[in-house]
């Protein structure tokens, strides 16, 4: 079965970054809400899909102003289920589609 996006403007985005900037802005907002402001970031992007315009994969290293260092990886042509995970020295927070897990 061939994948396809149903929203026309997402097939032909007029902004830089395609799906990465379209959806990624919400992911970054969530990270900032939980972890605070970002101090620096380095990233690598790639265009893997033939049905999405622009890059659809990103791998980053992020350092927050509070000293937390993490990775943000997103793929809009490979992943089927989104999840957001924070691993700390003592606890883990996982945000899945229908639940939040805290250990």
pLDDT in tens, 25-36: 888 998 999 899
How confident is the model over 77-88, as pLDDT tens digits? 775 667 788 888
Distance between CA atoms of residues 94 and 88, nearest Å:
11
Give me the pLDDT at residue 44, please: 94
Q: Answer whether residue 3 shows pLDDT above 60.
A: no
Q: At the topology level of CATH, where does 9-102 sit?
A: Dihydrodipicolinate Reductase; domain 2 (3.30.360)
Measuring CA to CA, which residue among 33, 14, 31, 32 is closest to residue 22?
A: 14
**What is the share, in percent, of the chain residues with pLDDT greater than 70?**
83
The domains of the chain are located at 9-102
pTM over 0.75: no
Distance between CA atoms of residues 40 and 101, nearest Å:
28
Distance between CA atoms of residues 21 and 36, nearest Å:
20
């Amino acid at each position: 079965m061939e994948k396809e996006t149903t929203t026309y403007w997402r097939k032909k985005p007029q902004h830089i970054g395609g799906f990465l900037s379209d959806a990624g802005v919400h992911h970054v907002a969530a990270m900032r809400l939980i972890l605070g402001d970002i101090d620096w970031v380095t990233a690598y992007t790639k265009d893997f899909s033939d049905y999405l315009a622009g890059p659809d994969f990103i791998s980053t290293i992020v350092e927050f102003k509070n000293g937390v260092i993490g990775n943000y990886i997103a793929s809009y042509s490979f992943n089927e289920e989104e999840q957001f995970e924070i691993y700390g020295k003592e606890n883990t927070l996982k945000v899945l589609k229908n639940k939040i897990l805290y250990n």
